[in-house]
Amino acid sequence: MLCDLAHTFPTWVAKLLERDRHLRRNFREETITDLLMASLVGLEALGIRVDFPDETKTGGDMEWVFAAPLEVNGGRYLRLILQAKRPQYVKLKRGGYWCYQHLDHGDPLGQQAQTLVAYAKGKPGGTATLPLYIFYHPTSALAPLCSAPAIEGVNLVFADKVAPVVKGGCGRPKKKVAYSPP
Identify whether the C-beta of residue 152 lies closer than 8 Å to the C-beta of residue 14: yes
Mean pLDDT of the chain: 88
CB-CB neighbours of 91 under 10 Å: 9
Collapsing DSSP to helix, strand or coil, 51 comes out as strand
Domain boundaries, the chain: 2-175
Kindly state the percentage of the chain with pLDDT values over 90: 55
pLDDT digits (tens, 9 = 90+) for 66-108: 876 666 666 678 899 999 999 998 989 998 899 999 999 999 9
Collapsing DSSP to helix, strand or coil, 96 comes out as strand
Residue 148 has a pLDDT of 47
For residue 26, the 8-state DSSP code is P
pLDDT digits (tens, 9 = 90+) for 123-165: 888 888 999 999 999 988 876 555 544 567 899 999 999 999 9
- State how beta strands 76-85 and 48-51 pair: unpaired
